[in-house]
Structure 1
Amino acid sequence: MRTKYVLLVALLLLVSVVTPAAATAPQEQVTLTVSVVDQHGTGVGGATLTASWDGGDATETTRSNGQALIDVPRGASVALTIEDDDYVRNLPKMVPSAEGGDVTVDVAKKGSATVRVESAGGEALSDARVIVSQNGTTITHGETNENGGFNAASLEQGGYDLRVVKPGYYATEQSLTVRSSFSLQPVTIEQGEVTARFGVVDDHFEEPRALEAATVKVGSLGQFNTSDDGTRAVSVPVNTEFEVRVSKPGYETATRTVSIGEEDETTTLAIQRTPALSVVPANTQVVVDQTVEVQVTDEYGDAVADATLRVDGEAVGTTDSQGTARLPIDSAGDHDVTAVKGEVTADAIVVEGVSGAQQAQDPATATATAEPTGIDDPTTTTESSGTGPGFGVVLALLALLGTVGLLTRRR
């Protein structure tokens, strides 16, 4: 038994030592034979070659023939980049799934160009966005400095597409040539405005309804009210982005970022009424120990199901699918009735409990209850007793006529 115990412990120790080692075993490596060549196919020696992949990288320097050996994980997607004083590559050379073997990386002579952006009046424009692309791919981009300048440095010599845009100005596109020596290319852009029409609707309805007199705040340009068709036209600078806020009494406020281009356009913004509940009783005065029917509606007047009804703060019922419920009134005096659903609470309404005696004393102010009790109302006469003043006169006349008849017969 002791021998078996010792063997079991030894086996567990072996597993605890071997398992981590297996789990952390390095991924299989493959070797890439990379040749860095110029536009003439000549090897570029002394260049710094960097291979990058998810979770790692490696760096080597090319030999005089432009070659370098670099180890990377098998199957990894590898990006090869070059750094050199005289040569450059605009985009990394990609190896989608490394399996080793030969890879050629083409480079070109390094060049640069400076772009100066100015207004039609010759004023230098800062914060203009400059995009340099080639064959539809962005090579470099940035914004102009306080002198309106942007330096496109360390690019392959050759031709590029240049696009310049600034909020409030029309975009300009032109060609750009990058040379070995310094070159300055001025770019002039012009200011402009377009008409932005903002429409405000209530999208609670199946067909959204236009909202008149809604307030539209357009960035720092100001506040504007919609007309009877729910729209408002505003002149705005081209190529701008605004935070637009829409508000209206009784409605929730909505905010949206709107981008304006170089053409007139319409933007529709939707808002809905502020969530609310209303309680409407069938009667405002109810005989004690009777019930009153109430209906709960939302901000659009639609019936609200499953709303909790409270009388004087105590939950006493829940509305049905039609938004109605019957509530007990068990004592005389004023009772606050309200409804709650989710985070919305209705303003309290008052229902007065009236005793039977109070109703008899002042029948003009006591209303019928919403449900009969089966108890006769002592103040209401449903059948003549024959003792009222009307019957007394009739009986007296009949007696008088009977007496006259008897006297006549005796004569």
Structure 2
Amino acid sequence: MRSGILVGLVVSGLLLAGPAATVGSAQSSDVVTLTVSVENQDGDPVRNAELTATWGNGSTTESTASNGKAFVDVPSGADVTISTSHPEYIRNHPIVVQDASEREVTVPVHHRGQLSVVVADEGGRVADARVVLRKDGRVTSRMSTNGSGMVASGDIEQGEYTVSVAKPGYLRNSTTVQVGASTQSRVLIERGTVILTVAVRDPHFSPPRPVSNATVRIASIGQFQTLAGGETSVSVPVNTDLSVAVAKESYAEATTRVRVNESARRVNLSTSRTPTLRLEPDNQRIVAGERLGVDIVNEYGEPVEGATVLLDDDSAGTSGADGRVTLVVEEPGTHSLVATADGLRSDPVTIRAIPEDGETLTPSATPSDTSTGTASGSGSSTPGFTLFTAVLAVAGAIGALALRRGR
């Protein structure tokens, strides 16, 4: 009986131990070990180099032994970034291990160095110049010169670098510098210009037509006019970003930004006429009750279909494909015509309709003027001219004629 119980306990223990061993094995398979070797530029191992390995949501730190190696445990399949820290050695860029698995990884390091760069032109040192350092084709750092035209790299690998300097208005200059423990370099740059051609076109037409006499404004440069071909050419500083705007009366303003490098540049700008509506009647003076033809045109003088014509704010008709409306002005007097379409409204046009029997003119009564001898109620509109003065004038004329014959 006791032996049976003992056997049962042993079997149960084995059953319980089996799953536990399986879980432990699965857990250990989620971690892999990277054997990391740190070497200097001569291939010698570097001891006491601190390695920091980082991945998605974790990190770990190890130090190299006297043989320059360290064992770093990381998640299996993770992308791991390994950076180094050492008093004498440095690495410009960390090592990246993709899809981590059990493997050996070598991390080359170099002696620490520093580089200071002075940028100058013909007038002296140049502030705010952009300085880019590259080693083996990779960008190590991007910096800008201070008010004294100088910039310092900080700690970088010793070795050969390409130093590129650029500033708006200046030609780029690149030079090769051998960086040691502490190196200084002076880079000269010079001003330069190129030709920027701005072409202005109206895309309403096919092909687009040039827009002449348009005003082209280039920020910090000036204002220019397009010629008959719709173009203007301007000398501008090299390596600059320019804001270009074009404007012309009755056209929409257009703007763009242009990057100018060290060769001639051409940029095309499109601008169209500002949308408008215009009403053109055949006559502005008509006989009441007669038919009046009206044309509705857009900003290009083209007929507008579907425009509504309002006569004294009342709808009087809609334009057809030819942009034309025929209406009748029944009432004599002064009337207003307006066209509307697609949210646009034309300027009003005044129409005068006269009665069929013509316009009646109401004469103005001339008040009597006793100072000139005008007879009251004479009806004459000429001041001072009466029947008596008329008789005197005739008598004077006869006398003059008789005198002339007597001679």
Q: Normalised by the size of structure 1, how large is the TM-score?
A: 0.68
Q: Do the aligned partners of 1:129 and 1:142 also contact (CA within 8 Å) in 2? A: yes
Q: CA deviation at 1:308?
A: 4.8
Q: Secondary structure of 1:206's partner? A: coil
Q: CA deviation at 1:330?
A: 6.9
For structure 1, the residue ranges without an aligned partner over 5 or more in a row are 1-27, 364-411
In structure 2, what is the equivalent of residue 390 of structure 1? none
Q: CA deviation at 1:184?
A: 0.4
* Deviation sequence 1:137-157 (CA, Å, 0-9, x none): 322112111111122223222
Cα 1:31–1:270, aligned 2, differ >3 Å: closer, same or farther? same
In structure 1, what is the equivalent of residue 121 of structure 2? 119
In structure 2, what is the equivalent of residue 234 of structure 1? 234
Bigger Rg, structure 1 or 2:
2
Distance 2:157 2:212 in 1: 58
Q: Do the aligned partners of 2:55 and 2:78 also contact (CA within 8 Å) in 1? A: no
Q: Do the aligned partners of 2:74 and 2:100 also contact (CA within 8 Å) in 1? A: no
Q: Secondary structure of 2:114's partner? A: strand
* Deviation sequence 1:357-401 (CA, Å, 0-9, x none): x224359xxxxxxxxxxxxxxxxxxxxxxxxxxxxxxxxxxxxxx
* Deviation sequence 1:61-101 (CA, Å, 0-9, x none): 334344242434x6554433334433322233233434565
Distance 1:34 1:308 in 2: 84
Q: Do the aligned partners of 2:48 and 2:86 also contact (CA within 8 Å) in 1? A: no
Q: Normalised by the size of structure 2, how large is the TM-score?
A: 0.69
In structure 2, what is the equivalent of residue 89 of structure 1? 91
Q: Does 1:185 align with 2:188?
A: no
* Counterparts of residues 331-370 of structure 1 (less than 5 Å): 333=333, 334-342=335-343, 344-351=344-351, 358-361=355-358
Cα 1:281–1:80, aligned 2, differ >3 Å: closer, same or farther? farther
Q: Do the aligned partners of 1:47 and 1:84 also contact (CA within 8 Å) in 2? A: yes
Q: Does 1:51 align with 2:48?
A: no
Distance 1:311 1:129 in 2: 67
Q: Secondary structure of 2:356's partner? A: helix
Distance 1:37 1:111 in 2: 18
Distance 2:36 2:195 in 1: 57
Letter in 2 for 1:81: S
* Counterparts of residues 388-399 of structure 1 (less than 5 Å): none
* Counterparts of residues 24-43 of structure 1 (less than 5 Å): 30-33=31-34, 35-39=36-40, 40=43, 42-43=45-46
Q: Do the aligned partners of 1:204 and 1:272 also contact (CA within 8 Å) in 2? A: yes
Cα 1:59–1:251, aligned 2, differ >3 Å: closer, same or farther? farther
Q: Secondary structure of 1:49's partner? A: strand
In structure 1, what is the equivalent of residue 249 of structure 2? 249
Q: Do the aligned partners of 2:238 and 2:261 also contact (CA within 8 Å) in 1? A: yes
Distance 1:78 1:280 in 2: 77
Q: CA deviation at 1:221?
A: 2.1
Letter in 2 for 1:336: L
Q: CA deviation at 1:124?
A: 0.9
* Deviation sequence 1:207-245 (CA, Å, 0-9, x none): 333333221222222212223333333222222222122
Q: CA deviation at 1:30?
A: 4.2
Cα 1:94–1:319, aligned 2, differ >3 Å: closer, same or farther? farther
Distance 1:313 1:92 in 2: 77
Distance 1:237 1:106 in 2: 44
Cα 1:84–1:350, aligned 2, differ >3 Å: closer, same or farther? farther
Q: CA deviation at 1:270?
A: 2.6
Q: Do the aligned partners of 2:309 and 2:337 also contact (CA within 8 Å) in 1? A: no
Letter in 2 for 1:171: R
* Deviation sequence 1:154-193 (CA, Å, 0-9, x none): 32221121211112221111102222x2110001111222
* Counterparts of residues 2-401 of structure 1 (less than 5 Å): 30-33=31-34, 35-39=36-40, 40=43, 42-53=45-56, 56-64=57-65, 65-72=68-75, 75-99=77-101, 101-121=103-123, 123-179=124-180, 181-282=181-282, 284=284, 293-313=293-313, 318-325=318-325, 333=333, 334-342=335-343, 344-351=344-351, 358-361=355-358
Distance 1:328 1:95 in 2: 87
Distance 1:317 1:96 in 2: 75
Q: CA deviation at 1:37?
A: 1.0
Q: Secondary structure of 2:171's partner? A: coil
Q: Do the aligned partners of 1:197 and 1:233 also contact (CA within 8 Å) in 2? A: yes
Q: Do the aligned partners of 2:49 and 2:85 also contact (CA within 8 Å) in 1? A: no
Letter in 2 for 1:116: V
Q: Do the aligned partners of 1:58 and 1:70 also contact (CA within 8 Å) in 2? A: no
Q: Secondary structure of 1:235's partner? A: strand
Letter in 1 for 2:38: V
For structure 2, the residue ranges without an aligned partner over 5 or more in a row are 1-28, 361-407
Q: Do the aligned partners of 1:30 and 1:98 also contact (CA within 8 Å) in 2? A: no
Distance 1:131 1:324 in 2: 67
Sequence identity percentage: 30
